[in-house]
Structure 1
Amino acid sequence: LVNPWNITELASSIGYALTMSANEREKRHQHNFLHVTTHTSQEWAETFVSELNDTVVEAQLRTRHIPPQLPSEVAIERFLQSNNRLLILGFNATLTEPVDAQGRRIDQLKEMELKLHPDLKEPLRTLCNDPKTTIVVLSGSDRNVLDENFGEYRMWLAAEHGMFLRQTGGNWMTTMPENLSMDWVDSVKHVFEYFTERTPRSHFELRETSLVWNYKYTDIEFGKLQSKDLLQHLWTGPISNASVEVVQGSRSVEVRAVGVTKGAAIDRILGEIVHNNDVKTPIDYVLCIGHFLAKDEDIYSFFDPDLSQVQAPTMRTKIASYLNRSTSNHSAGKSGHRPASCKVGQQASTIDKKAGSNENANWWSLFRDRMTVHEGSSVLDLKADNYFSCAVGRNCSLARYLLGSSADVVSLLKDMAYNSSC
């Protein structure tokens, strides 16, 4: 970079450019060309809008009233009265077993190894075998963790915030957007490695679509100071111009590509489920439970029947367009899926990236008519009384209800399984 007001420096730089070797010119051109084609005005606009949306979510969390406790008896009663149920469950701090410290120092290695709560194995098996019930475990964990804990059940697994999806017994597929860029991973990894080395008892996870630095087991005050320092390193270095989002948890820092949230992935997940399960009865009951970060709480609003018509089209018309195409592919004998081993940036599902203006204007009629696998049936027929979104272990949330801990989740699912088998 040269100060254009400094005549001496400017003249010297022009002279250097005129005498530059062809090899160096080519290298500089490749570097600059890659930069301008990667950091486009569209990318800047998407990042800017995403940060604005984050601000809105944070403001909503600050001003929103604390939701009431989940009325378990009502939720179970509605569950039994429904004909096609969808249960969306988080994993960490929702279905995981408690770590019994018994007054001793926390066993970090044991707590880092996520395990399904032992009391949930039979209730989950009962619910999974119920033909009226579809279960999706939606987690930020990688595929191996979900396979290890849920491989024996008949359910859907959505790993890394829904970027990878499979029905147990089938192969993993990727639902990542076509233009997802992961060029920033290596540079962020170096920063995380550096802070892991200088922060005792911290660790980081390298996933396929994100990186997470966790300081849960460090000294509280020292961990907070280190996290602030880490954020400064990130913003002034590897992600200063990258299309990424930094998601701060209570004791963690996660870097993920722009647009990677559970709410953004659920429309693609639902489309795949409907296409593969050959749905004949509309979904008339949804229970969504999880210990989700604020960034991922957009999943709670996706199914909400009270969602305004301004917000709904951007998410739901994508499913309609997807199913319209998937149905034709299915009749032609094509799956329309690609395996999860495809490169990042390849499109793994046939979801339209944009919905037309006419679809946005008449979203509900199109949603009802185009999301049809069998004539006369639509995918969702959800009333407000049959939708239960529930945050676990959080006081401030966009969910309708709260549950105190994973023990409350265990109790709820046990009662559901018992009553559904009667």
Structure 2
Amino acid sequence: MAGRRPSSIGGRTCNRRSSVETFGEEVVTEVETPVLPPYDFIPNPSSNGGLMNAVKSLSNEQLRGGKVFIGTPGVATNEWAGVAEKNNIAKRLKDECDSVPVWVEDDTFEAAYAHFCKQILWPTFHYTLPTRNGLEHEHEGFACYRELNKRFAQAIVDEYKEGDIIFINDYHLLLVPEMVREKLPHSKICFFLHIAWPSSEIFRCLTARTHILKGMLGADLVGFQTQNFARHFRQTVSRILQLEATPKGIQIDGRGGFVTVATFPIGIDVKSLNKRRAQPDVAEWVEKLRSRYEGKKVVVGRDKLDSIKGVRQKLLAFEIALHEHPDLIGKVVLLQVALATTEENEEVAAATDVVSRINNKYSTLTYQPVVFLHVQDITFCQYLALLTIADAFLATSLREGMNLTSHEFVICQEVKHKPLILSEFTGTYSSLRACIGINPWNTKQVADAIYKAIMMDEGEAFERWKDLRRQVMAQDAQHWIQSLLGRLERAHIDQQRRNNLFVPRLEIGQSEWRASKSRLILLDLEGTLMRDDPLLDYAKGFEVPEEVINVLYQLTEDPKNRVYVLSGKGTQDLTKVVESVPRVGLVAENGCAVMYAGSAPHEHPLHISDHYSHKGAPKSWTSLVAGINMSWRDPVIEILRYFTERTPGSWLEDRGASILWRFWSEGFDEKTAQHNKDFLWARRQAAEVQNLIYDSLGERFSLRIIPGKTSFLIMPKNTSRASAIQHYNTHLLHPFGLGSFDLVVCIGQDDNLFAFINSLDLPFAPITCTSAGHSGDMQHGHNSHSVGVGSEANYYVNGPKDVYDSLYDILAFRGRDQKWGVPAMVDV
């Protein structure tokens, strides 16, 4: 949370903004101390009030350990604050305000906030160009920004107690989540961005883009105001960091986990606002303003005088409204409150020019069309009075995270029920749909909206206001904080459950295996039964390794087994498997098609006691994407061919319902790849083409793009290996009753499939085993494994050799039984 505060101590004044983990207090004046004049603390009037009210609304029962707010003090300190002074202030802040100060040198703070935050991040996140001054000092600014974030992270670590919730807010502290995670790996971390998040095409221009994204991904939960912002973030991470983005978040390769990404539109504290509205000063100002503008309609606006707030566009639109609707002249006043900002810009001059032109043209002795208040801010009571007497509220932001002023206007209109004119580029617009929506760049449309609002009949205005109020009341600050912390709790528990599991090497007990009368065996092909060699397959075509055929043939010889091989390869390649092992079942293209286990098409998968015959009609594939619009394939292939021509060593694989693009054909090594200019070029090409496909076709056709280290796969969104097995369970098992299999063994690398298998209620506990990797302990012979990649599996194996050892162990059970006979008693 951050707030701009003009502060004073010892007679000096400065303008500083405090980038705050939760809240900072301002040093002003009183109390005895040997080294400081009397001082006291007052709340920052320019802070994020919605955030503060939301956090303060949490009860002691919900946060039994209380709350600690961490932030900068908000005043220049180099000239007067030594160790003794800082200790004095820190002690009083902790005792009186539950706050911890972060001390930063003045020049470091200035470079971090005034240069990097306000001249680089702020404009970029709002789709405008960074300032020239900001670009000239970008590297120095980022170094100071990193240092500021480091100080915050250390302050959090110093204050942290087991079980604490760490709630980090806004763009001033984007690096803090990762810094805290490195020192507190099991802590509960939430990051919420209050401003907009730009498209990947804009964000990728930032020099520090990788540092920022990795910094944010240190959190368990990353929250945004709108679905669009969250979608842009997921797409940006996928494009720049080459991580898989899902609708629920980001899959992290390195530390294995999953970062939840979700939307939590913030609201206002309605109860607190109503208390302020009931103050006598508000009623007094309401009467004064009604008297002052009696007989006139007042359109109110309140914005920071920042280019993204669209103040100039608002004034131009009002000028057009007066020109095109002369009946408004002398009857309608635009009262614009323009709050000063800390950064230097040309907005004041630009806006003042338009105001002067309008007033010079349309003013009379008794009428001034535009009242432009920009020299001094109004009090909060005056602001509430303005919202109360307004005949319309006009917000023309060119890009904005939320715009809670519109919420406050709705609550203040409980008597007049006047309309809200709201830019479609605000986060608020998506929920307050009963407003009059506008494109602020279309000044003619805005002018028409002003006229419509002024002329709207009371019935329509009341109906619109009722809907707006319902949304504001439902989406208040308390609902926001409760939703956010609830989601954080779930995300953190899930992540810790994965990270803390100690998983043993795969062992399948003889007793369970012998006692089970029907078994389902699911085996991944690539990375589990065989090591994938894409270059060899591309050059010579896919050939099924002999060892794969041998083990599958022996597994399918047991009539109690149903064996399925799961693969990303297409049906043409996988048909070669069934030609050698007729009884095996296949799942192709990561779940896009299935060939059921059994030797003939008439043999139902549940007839597990049947002995197979290798004769009969050939088996056929069943498509699991038959009802999906596949017309995306041709344009995707065209795009990929274009990039293939421009990326040496790349090729595409048209697998049927999915398409893979391999952008790097040589061996991949994580350390050397970062210094290989050819690989870096190929990876940039891959990022470009993924972004192009997603932007042009992804949402329209519900496509899923799965990035890998040297390739990426494009396929229908709701299709996976897990969904294919769920289809098998739902459509083929249910008619004959659940529990048709006594035991399920699944060895592979698909966590979603592991989670589904583990949820099945079977006579014997499912055996799920990951072949995705292992910790360094294995090379020293340790027989247990801490799953660093956050696997849902109950066991692990170390590559194909371990897989074959385990499979031949269970095949040996049957061999011994056939040779020596089945035990008279099974110990289960």
- Is the pair's TM-score, using the shorter chain for normalization, greater than 0.5? yes
- Comparing 267-276 with 217-226, which one deviates more in the overlay? 267-276
Counterparts of 1:91 and 1:197, CA distance in 2: 30
**Contact (CA 8 Å) 2:771, 2:798: kept in 1 or not?**
yes
Is 1:304 matched up with 2:685?
no
**Residue 553 of structure 2 aligns to a residue in which SS?**
helix
Task: Report the equivalent of 1:321.
Answer: none
Task: Rate the CA distance shift 1:290–1:216 in 2: closer, same or farther, 3 A.
Answer: farther
Counterparts of 1:398 and 1:86, CA distance in 2: 19
- Comparing 172-181 with 82-91, which one deviates more in the overlay? 172-181
Task: Report the equivalent of 2:770.
Answer: 391
**Contact (CA 8 Å) 1:108, 1:217: kept in 2 or not?**
no
From 815, 818, 822, the counterpart of 1:421: 815
Is 1:196 matched up with 2:577?
no
**Contact (CA 8 Å) 1:67, 1:399: kept in 2 or not?**
no
**Contact (CA 8 Å) 2:526, 2:532: kept in 1 or not?**
no
**Contact (CA 8 Å) 1:94, 1:406: kept in 2 or not?**
yes
Counterparts of 1:240 and 1:280, CA distance in 2: 36
Structure 1 residue 117 displacement after superposition: 3.7
Counterparts of 2:540 and 2:769, CA distance in 1: 24
Task: Rate the CA distance shift 1:223–1:419 in 2: closer, same or farther, 3 A.
Answer: farther
**What letter matches 1:268 in structure 2?**
H
**Residue 95 of structure 1 aligns to a residue in which SS?**
coil
Task: Report the equivalent of 2:723.
Answer: 264
Task: Report the equivalent of 1:138.
Answer: 566
Structure 1 residue 270 displacement after superposition: 3.0
From 739, 743, 747, the counterpart of 1:289: 747
Counterparts of 1:111 and 1:67, CA distance in 2: 41
**Contact (CA 8 Å) 2:593, 2:625: kept in 1 or not?**
no
TM-score by structure 2 length?
0.32
Task: Report the equivalent of 2:585.
Answer: 156
**Contact (CA 8 Å) 1:84, 1:133: kept in 2 or not?**
yes
Counterparts of 1:107 and 1:189, CA distance in 2: 20
Task: Report the equivalent of 1:215.
Answer: 663
**Residue 89 of structure 1 aligns to a residue in which SS?**
strand
Is 1:183 matched up with 2:631?
yes
Task: Report the equivalent of 1:174.
Answer: 622
**What letter matches 2:762 in structure 1?**
D
**Residue 690 of structure 2 aligns to a residue in which SS?**
helix
**Residue 258 of structure 2 aligns to a residue in which SS?**
helix
Structure 1 residue 88 displacement after superposition: 0.6
Counterparts of 2:503 and 2:799, CA distance in 1: 12
Structure 1 residue 212 displacement after superposition: 1.0
Task: Report the equivalent of 1:409.
Answer: 803
Counterparts of 1:406 and 1:231, CA distance in 2: 31
Task: Rate the CA distance shift 1:390–1:142 in 2: closer, same or farther, 3 A.
Answer: same
Counterparts of 1:142 and 1:166, CA distance in 2: 12
Counterparts of 2:539 and 2:753, CA distance in 1: 26
Task: Rate the CA distance shift 1:76–1:208 in 2: closer, same or farther, 3 A.
Answer: farther
**Contact (CA 8 Å) 2:594, 2:724: kept in 1 or not?**
no
**Contact (CA 8 Å) 1:97, 1:116: kept in 2 or not?**
no
Task: Rate the CA distance shift 1:70–1:82 in 2: closer, same or farther, 3 A.
Answer: farther
Counterparts of 1:257 and 1:186, CA distance in 2: 14
Structure 1 residue 193 displacement after superposition: 1.1
Task: Rate the CA distance shift 1:210–1:382 in 2: closer, same or farther, 3 A.
Answer: farther
Task: Rate the CA distance shift 1:68–1:401 in 2: closer, same or farther, 3 A.
Answer: farther
Task: Report the equivalent of 2:714.
Answer: 255
**Residue 238 of structure 1 aligns to a residue in which SS?**
helix
**Residue 406 of structure 1 aligns to a residue in which SS?**
helix
Task: Report the equivalent of 1:118.
Answer: 546
Compare CA radii of gyration and give the structure with the larger one. Answer: 2
Structure 1 residue 86 displacement after superposition: 0.8
Task: Report the equivalent of 2:12.
Answer: none
Task: Report the equivalent of 2:258.
Answer: 58
CA deviation profile, 1:198-247 (whole Å, cap 9, x unmatched): 22222211122111112341553333222112222223333353321111
Task: Rate the CA distance shift 1:205–1:75 in 2: closer, same or farther, 3 A.
Answer: farther
Task: Report the equivalent of 1:79.
Answer: 513
Structure 1 residue 281 displacement after superposition: 7.3
Task: Rate the CA distance shift 1:249–1:382 in 2: closer, same or farther, 3 A.
Answer: farther
Counterparts of 2:540 and 2:753, CA distance in 1: 25
**Contact (CA 8 Å) 1:287, 1:387: kept in 2 or not?**
yes
Task: Report the equivalent of 2:594.
Answer: 165
**Residue 288 of structure 1 aligns to a residue in which SS?**
strand
**Contact (CA 8 Å) 1:96, 1:114: kept in 2 or not?**
no
Task: Rate the CA distance shift 1:273–1:147 in 2: closer, same or farther, 3 A.
Answer: farther
Counterparts of 2:542 and 2:732, CA distance in 1: 26
TM-score by structure 1 length?
0.60
The unaligned stretches of length 5 or more in structure 2 are 1-227, 233-244, 252-256, 260-490, 602-618, 667-677, 774-787, 817-828
**Contact (CA 8 Å) 1:87, 1:286: kept in 2 or not?**
yes
Counterparts of 2:644 and 2:629, CA distance in 1: 25
**What letter matches 2:741 in structure 1?**
I
Task: Report the equivalent of 2:331.
Answer: none
The unaligned stretches of length 5 or more in structure 1 are 1-43, 100-105, 308-379
**What letter matches 1:134 in structure 2?**
R
The CA RMSD over aligned residues, in Å, is: 3.5
Task: Rate the CA distance shift 1:216–1:412 in 2: closer, same or farther, 3 A.
Answer: farther
Counterparts of 1:79 and 1:151, CA distance in 2: 28
Counterparts of 1:279 and 1:117, CA distance in 2: 37
**What letter matches 1:255 in structure 2?**
I
Counterparts of 2:501 and 2:653, CA distance in 1: 32
Task: Rate the CA distance shift 1:213–1:110 in 2: closer, same or farther, 3 A.
Answer: closer
**Residue 212 of structure 1 aligns to a residue in which SS?**
strand
CA deviation profile, 1:109-136 (whole Å, cap 9, x unmatched): 5787444442343332221011111101
Structure 1 residue 190 displacement after superposition: 1.2
Counterparts of 2:690 and 2:576, CA distance in 1: 33
Identical-pair percentage: 22
**Contact (CA 8 Å) 1:95, 1:116: kept in 2 or not?**
no
Structure 1 residue 259 displacement after superposition: 0.3
**Residue 237 of structure 1 aligns to a residue in which SS?**
helix
Structure 1 residue 68 displacement after superposition: 4.5
Counterparts of 1:279 and 1:242, CA distance in 2: 35
**Residue 744 of structure 2 aligns to a residue in which SS?**
strand
**Residue 199 of structure 1 aligns to a residue in which SS?**
coil
Task: Rate the CA distance shift 1:151–1:140 in 2: closer, same or farther, 3 A.
Answer: same
**Contact (CA 8 Å) 1:391, 1:401: kept in 2 or not?**
yes
| Count of paired positions | 291
Counterparts of 1:67 and 1:147, CA distance in 2: 38
Alignment of 1:213-362 (within 5 A): 213-218=661-666, 219-239=678-698, 241-271=700-730, 274=733, 282-292=740-750, 297-305=751-759
**What letter matches 2:586 in structure 1?**
L
| Structure with higher RCO (Cα < 8 A, 6+ apart) | 1
Alignment of 1:43-54 (within 5 A): 51-54=246-249
**What letter matches 2:709 in structure 1?**
S
Structure 1 residue 107 displacement after superposition: 5.8
**Residue 93 of structure 1 aligns to a residue in which SS?**
coil
**What letter matches 1:298 in structure 2?**
N
**What letter matches 1:392 in structure 2?**
S
